[in-house]
């Protein structure tokens, strides 16, 4: 889920102060942790040869502690607010959190496991609270607001003005102008959403893995090339399904293999596995989770005076409102090539055996990160 980050502030302007030195690494983070120092690889690429699953949580927690101290110094500075000591200083903050979170987010979304699931479960709500502690800090916002109101007189270049606009907009969209009572409600909503979005993501990943199509007859894979069939055989062996073929699901409703498969029953089975991957009842069903997320997002949007969450999300985007955004999507869709393989599918109503715990029926869309955050 928005930048799917979960929470260090955006890096918009490394040009602001030239090539600044990295923020001092955590005093309490062991030097053996690969995130304790910036990677020496080209472009500071993560040291995956050194990183262990157990390295993420202590680095994320220490990164939040570091950034909280940095933000506290900025907010309580006795110096008048300037672009350098406020905006540029916030840009420099949270380097440990940034490099750890960016690495964790990429790994977690691509190749999770029980250890990483637990890190996400534990750290996600903490990251949400950390973000709120920054964007709902009245002293910090007062400095940003002061600069934004005087933007034209500060002698800023075009990029610096844009960075200042983005910071101001981020604070406003994150609730900086809400009353104290509404800020308390917002913190509660953000924490609950963080937990639910983690649950949704974990259910989706588990459902996607469990719903892979298992084929017992190679002839049913007619239409796939030799490489795809070999890959399916290998995938089955990895799950100890000897003598079978396995077609893993992608995180989309339509599956790439549908375009090549010529057996109608196989196409139908693959499509239905994808379509209902998290709608089979039981603990892995996401429909109730999605319904609750939608309700909480609606409550969050209402705090800001918006009719719905879509309006809230679009408020700081290019087109601002739903109607022009929808019109753009419709115009763009006309330019896309039609997927003719879909026409060969026979669509049927969902099986009545499948439980329908809520009115929301689809749970196979993209993951849903928090607002103003890089989803962890």
Among 109, 104, 5, residue whose Cα is nearest residue 54: 104
Mean pLDDT to the nearest integer, 74-80? 97
Q: Which residues contact 196 (CB under 8 A, 6 or more apart)?
A: 289, 292, 293, 296
Lowest mean pLDDT among 18-22, 155-159, 281-285, 343-347: 18-22
Mean pLDDT to the nearest integer, 69-90? 97
Q: What is the pLDDT of residues 174-189, one digit of tens each?
A: 999 999 999 999 999 9
Q: Which residue has the tokens 């969050």?
A: 300
Angle at 114 between CA 112 and CA 118, to 5 degrees: 100
Task: Name the CA radius of gyration of the chain, rounded.
Answer: 24
Q: Cα separation of 207 and 43, whole Å?
A: 35
Q: Cα separation of 238 and 96, whole Å?
A: 36
Structure tokens at 335: 């330019």
- With 70 as the cut, is the pLDDT of residue 21 above it? no
- With 90 as the cut, is the pLDDT of residue 144 above it? yes
- What pLDDT does residue 32 have? 95
Mean pLDDT to the nearest integer, 28-39? 94
Q: At what angle do helices 158-173 and 138-149 cross, to 10 degrees?
A: 140
Percent of the chain with pLDDT over 90: 72
Mean pLDDT to the nearest integer, 36-49? 96
Q: At what angle do helices 95-110 and 56-75 cross, to 10 degrees?
A: 140
Lowest mean pLDDT among 93-97, 307-311, 343-347: 343-347
Q: Which DSSP category does 344 fall into?
A: G
Mean pLDDT to the nearest integer, 249-261? 91
How would you classify residue 20: left for phi > 0, otherwise alpha for psi between -120 and 50, otherwise beta?
beta
Mean pLDDT to the nearest integer, 149-175? 96
- What pLDDT does residue 336 have? 67
């Amino acid at each position: 889920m928005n930048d799917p980050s979960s929470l260090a502030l955006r890096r918009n302007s490394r040009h602001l102060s030239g090539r600044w030195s990295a923020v001092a690494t955590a005093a309490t983070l062991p030097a053996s942790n690969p995130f304790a120092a910036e990677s020496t690889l080209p472009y500071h690429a993560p040291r995956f040869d050194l990183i262990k699953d157990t390295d993420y949580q202590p680095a994320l927690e220490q990164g939040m502690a570091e950034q909280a101290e940095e933000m506290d110094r900025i907010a309580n500075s006795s110096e008048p607010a300037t672009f350098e000591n406020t905006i540029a200083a916030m840009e420099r903050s949270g380097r440990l959190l940034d490099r750890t979170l960016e690495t964790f987010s990429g790994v977690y979304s691509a190749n999770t496991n029980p250890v990483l699931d637990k890190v996400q479960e534990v750290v996600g709500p903490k990251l949400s609270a950390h973000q709120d502690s920054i964007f709902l800090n009245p002293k910090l916002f007062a400095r940003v607001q002061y600069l934004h109101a005087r933007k034209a007189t500060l002698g800023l270049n075009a990029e610096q003005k844009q960075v200042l606009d983005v910071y101001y907009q981020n604070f406003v969209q994150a609730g900086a102008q809400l009353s104290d009572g509404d800020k308390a409600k917002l913190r509660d909503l953000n924490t609950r959403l963080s937990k639910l979005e983690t649950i949704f993501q974990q259910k989706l990943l588990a459902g996607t893995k469990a719903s892979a199509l298992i084929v017992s007859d190679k002839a049913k894979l007619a239409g796939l090339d030799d490489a795809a069939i070999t890959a399916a055989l290998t995938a089955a062996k990895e799950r100890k399904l000897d003598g079978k073929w396995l077609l893993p699901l992608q995180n989309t409703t339509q599956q790439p293999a549908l375009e090549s498969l010529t057996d109608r029953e196989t196409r139908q089975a693959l499509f239905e596995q994808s379509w209902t991957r998290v709608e089979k009842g039981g603990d892995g069903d996401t429909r109730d989770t999605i319904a609750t997320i939608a309700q909480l997002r609606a409550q969050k949007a209402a705090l800001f005076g918006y009719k719905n969450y879509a309006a809230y999300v679009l408020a700081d985007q290019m087109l601002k409102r739903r109607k022009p955004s929808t019109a753009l999507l419709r115009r763009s869709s006309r330019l896309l090539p039609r997927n003719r393989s879909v026409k060969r599918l026979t669509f049927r109503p969902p099986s009545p055996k499948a439980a329908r715990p809520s009115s929301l029926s689809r749970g196979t869309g993209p993951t849903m990160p928090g607002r103003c955050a890089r989803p962890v």
